[in-house]
Amino acid sequence: MIRSALMNVMTGAALKAGRGLKRDFGEVENLQVSVKGPGDFVSAADKRAEKVLFEELSKARPGYGFLMEESGAVEGSDKSHTFIIDPLDGTTNFLHGLPIFSISIGLVREGQVVAGLVYNPANDDMFVAEKGQGAYLNNRRLRVAARRDLGEALIGCGTPHIGKANGHARFKQEFSAVMANVANIRRLGSAALDLCYVAAGNYDGFWERDLQQWDIAAGIIMVKEAGGYITDADGGPDPLAKGTVCAGNDLIHRALLALVKQA
């Protein structure tokens, strides 16, 4: 596990917010739910977790800016540092009682992600990564899978929900192209965890489009620090700016990217 002062701050904030999510998850049927848009739900638990994260991180790192899913951008006096936060990635899973959701915190320094944390309160999986320090799940060092043959690969993806109907046709083409060339495909519903599973070697690769920065900031450095490759879904160098991702080890990433681009 990484023991830096920064990671201690991020871990402490995530654990505190996670306690509330864990409690609310146990009473999911009683949550007050509002609707932001078709198929895109936000719960009272989501907002409470974000408040805790903002308070804890701003107290420990005064002056840092924030970009948060629910509250948007908060400018800080320190223009070179920004925390990018998703307090509940996998809200639909959460509201349906599926224990696949996460708190995601990424720290950007001068435009580059330098630290990331993804925490699933349902099973206490804590993924952390810091530039030059590696990536870890709890106390285990992470490395991307070593498979070289796309035909043996398990690939993760994200599917566009009902509110993203304009992406359905493209996804169907990409899914068909990938499905015909890999061992199998999974869709779990939390892009932050999906990227961690690439870093841990559970997935051999992952791709998704139409994402927000808070969905992927922490996952980007997780994959890189685990020895993986990550670009946008068209092969560009800045997935955070483009809001699309394609990740894997060197060969699987290259082969998966080719399939997605050709589709």
Residues making up the binding site for Mg(2+): 69, 86, 88-89, 215
Q: What is the mean pLDDT of each run of 10 residues along the chain (263 residues)?
A: 94 98 82 58 84 98 96 96 97 89 98 97 98 97 98 97 91 97 98 98 98 98 98 97 98 98 91
pLDDT at 96: 84
pLDDT at 24: 87
pLDDT at 61: 98
Q: Domains of the chain by range and CATH?
A: 5-141 (3.30.540.10), 150-262 (3.40.190.80)
pLDDT at 39: 46
Residues making up the binding site: 69, 86, 88-89, 215
Tokens of 234: 């068209």
pLDDT at 29: 62
Strands laid side by side in the 140-141 sheet: 72-74, 64-68, 78-89, 102-109, 112-120, 125-130, 134-137, 140-141
Residue 191 Cα distances to 12, 194, 216, angstroms: 22, 5, 7
Residue/partner pairs of 35-43 with CB below 8 Å, 24 or more apart: 37/163, 38/161, 38/162, 38/163, 39/92, 39/161, 39/162, 39/163, 39/164, 40/91, 40/161, 40/163, 41/91, 41/92, 41/95, 42/70, 42/91, 43/88, 43/91, 43/94, 43/95
Distance CA 96, CA 215 (A): 20
pLDDT at 37: 54
